[in-house]
């Protein structure tokens, strides 16, 4: 096999109460990466589409190529590669755009070179793409993009992640307004200290979310989707956030919060029909004030990246 084409999915991180520890994958959107073997040992990005010229072709500074280079160094491979990156989601969307690129790239080279590592062993390399993109090697987007499903990052030192089963009828609505929030800016405004009261309340919701997912208890999921720490601060970066959230709840959503650093907003619902109604309500809420928004409805993607060519 001399070439391979991989799709890696978008992700929702934080998931309301689970800042930096929760994330899950969706069916769409996502990124596509094509990797081809070369006859020399050069690593070259040949083409990038869908990002309006915003991403670099410098392989030492692009989230798709850095994980590949780290993987090759780790495995001792001198294989040269041509890389194509086709962005199928907006940058700065809060949907793990850089993570999808990182995961697709390193998953592609591992497949192309005979699966030298397990999928889970690719996680540290994928995280290096996040370090390039936003300055910090967080796993809450790359882990679900790579492993699929709903993922908990239990620890970073040592790195320990695990998947949590999710109910079959749990659907997510994601609405992406046509604005951009810089991840570094969204982290910068967060408070360094949190009150004991809010910490205790947040811990209760984190535990409730895990139990609700594992027991398919939709009411427990709903009551646990309250973020006392991050959402109140980051909401100021997203115009109409509270109006959109209220629209989602009024349309039947279990809960609604910011996807990652924003500006995308996600909502959980029981059943696709309700999730579709929620999508219309959230989209209309943005467009009432002249903000165009795209909407996606998906189940929880359980497989992560996949070979598509």
SS3 label, residue 135: coil
Give how far the C-alpha of residue 96 lies from the chain's centroid of Cα atoms, to the nearest Å.
Answer: 3
Cβ neighbors of 246 (< 8 A, separation 6 or more) are none
> How, if at all, do strands 81-86 and 43-49 pair?
parallel
**Catalytic annotation, residues:** 130, 183
**In contact, 24 and 12? CB cutoff 8 Å:** yes
- What whole-number distance in Å separates Cα of residue 159 and Cα of residue 174? 29
**In contact, 293 and 178? CB cutoff 8 Å:** yes
DSSP character at residue 300 = B
Other CB atoms within a 10 A radius of the CB of residue 47 amount to 11
- What whole-number distance in Å separates Cα of residue 178 and Cα of residue 16? 22
Other CB atoms within a 10 A radius of the CB of residue 33 amount to 28
């Amino acid at each position: 096999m001399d070439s391979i084409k991989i799709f890696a999915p978008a992700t929702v991180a934080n998931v309301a109460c689970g800042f930096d520890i929760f994330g899950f994958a969706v069916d769409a959107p996502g990124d596509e990466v094509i990797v081809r073997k070369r006859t020399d040992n050069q690593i070259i990005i040949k083409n990038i589409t869908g990002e309006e010229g915003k991403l670099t072709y410098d392989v030492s500074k692009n989230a798709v190529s850095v994980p590949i280079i780290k993987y090759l160094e780790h495995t001792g491979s001198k294989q040269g590669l041509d890389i194509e990156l086709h962005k199928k989601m907006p940058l700065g969307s809060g949907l793990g755009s850089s993570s999808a690129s990182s995961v697709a790239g390193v998953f592609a080279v591992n497949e192309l070179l005979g699966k030298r590592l397990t999928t889970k062993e690719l996680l540290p390399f994928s995280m290096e793409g996040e370090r390039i993109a936003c300055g910090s090697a967080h796993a809450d987007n790359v882990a679900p993009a790579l492993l699929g499903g709903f993922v908990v990052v239990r620890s970073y030192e040592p790195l320990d992640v695990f998947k949590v089963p999710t109910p079959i009828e749990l659907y997510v609505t994601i609405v992406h307004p046509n604005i951009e929030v810089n991840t570094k800016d969204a982290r910068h405004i967060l408070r360094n200290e949190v009150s004991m009261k809010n910490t205790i309340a947040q811990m209760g919701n984190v535990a409730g979310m895990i139990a609700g997912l594992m027991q398919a208890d939709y009411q427990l999921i709903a009551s646990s989707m309250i973020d006392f720490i991050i959402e109140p601060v980051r909401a100021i970066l997203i115009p109409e956030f509270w109006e959109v959230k209220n629209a989602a709840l009024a349309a039947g959503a279990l809960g609604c919060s910011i996807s990652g650093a924003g500006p995308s907003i996600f909502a959980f619902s029981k059943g696709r029909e309700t999730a579709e109604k929620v999508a219309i309500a959230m989209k209309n809420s943005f467009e009432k004030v002249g903000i165009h928004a795209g909407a996606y409805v998906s189940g929880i993607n359980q497989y992560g990246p996949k070979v598509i060519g």
